[in-house]
Structure 1
Amino acid sequence: MIAQSGTSKFLKALKENKELGADNGLIGQFGVRLYSAFLVADKVSVSTKSPRSDKQYIWEAVADSSSYVIKEVIDPEKMLRRGTQITLHGYRPDGKYEFSEPTRVSGLMKNYSQFVSFLIYTWQEKSRSVEVEEEEVKEGEEEKPEGEKKKKKNNVTEKYWDWELGNETKPIRMRNSKELEKEENQEFYKKTFNEFLDPLAHTHFTTE
């Protein structure tokens, strides 16, 4: 597949339309990045919904086809409040899904999407400590009425799923360099280049 990015054209049209307002937070080559998902997935689904509309649409395509499908989402359980949800579908005979593991996805997000201007969440399995009441029964003791039974409280570990923010660092490229603190520049350098030491020096410039 060959994908053509329409980000630059979209930005131009957005800038011309003053009523919508320009958003310079977009990054080019979106089409190329979207189709790169087929490197690890047999099928890709992109569901998106505007907060200004009650309708939601989904784009779907399979790796071995040159066509795609766009349709309206009707199922209430699949409706988003707003935003975009990308789902990668795949099947591997060996059962190994490296790029679907939560830790792997989080690592990729932190490396390549840490400083984008919009928030990205991943569906992660988490654990928490929950306090539960259990009946305290002593050996040889007669069974007491329900209201007189002694109960003890224990903490148990509970598994649950929830959305987790993956790119908590704000993009410094969208901010005025005069407003940036020294620590923010150092953090950007370390996370971008996987360094542990602070940079010797830094400078800001704008280019097209």
Structure 2
Amino acid sequence: MPPPWHGRLQAAQAVLFDFDGTLAPNLDLPDLRRRVVDFALTHDVPAAVFEGRYIVEILDAAARWLADRAADGDAFLARGHRLIRDFEVAAARDTRPFPDAVRTIEQLRRAGVRVAVVTRNCRDAVLTVYPDLEQHCEALLARDDVAHLKPDLRHLQRALDEVDAAPGRSLMVGDGALDMETGRALGLYCVGVLTGSADRPRLRAAGADVVLPRAGTLLEALAGA
């Protein structure tokens, strides 16, 4: 089903973009996950404590387990976050944003649509990949900017608040099922893109209203072309 502003782009108040896999190529998330899991295991945290969790949440669960046993969970958490940040920033040095995604952001803003980026990546890595991103959007909410990360709805809600937009007049654009599930739960029109972690059936099953080849084709899709 097309959004209510289909063919009338100016009626959309805001577009929220994921970053990795949406505006730029994905990091090697399986490798990062393996490193974080190994880090937890070397501290004798049982795998069952963090099984099935996202990368950052592995650290949170392991730190709680350690703290419950009078170990230094805070020190573990700090070292774990440094591990993730260092991995992200190192990978970011060899990564650039998708050129057509950058053009799309610029065109959206010229059309009067507010743009926010909501990402689980750290701010330093995002700005290493896309140094002038903050000049191209109204809000950047990276991992170190928020207390609650998507899939917590408060991550997206804070972005909507910062750009003064209503969920029903806004879009969530992302490459992952997590993006679609979170956007759908908050009432945004959800646009999946095939430049990252999930294929078309997975994005559809997670709640995507439409699936596009890439974020750079968003304007064409909204115009009804």
Task: Provide the TM-score with structure 2 as the length reference.
Answer: 0.23
Asked which structure has the greater CA Rg, the reply is 1
The higher-RCO structure (CA 8 Å, 6+ apart) is 2
Task: Provide the TM-score with structure 1 as the length reference.
Answer: 0.25
More helix by share: 2
More strand by share: 1
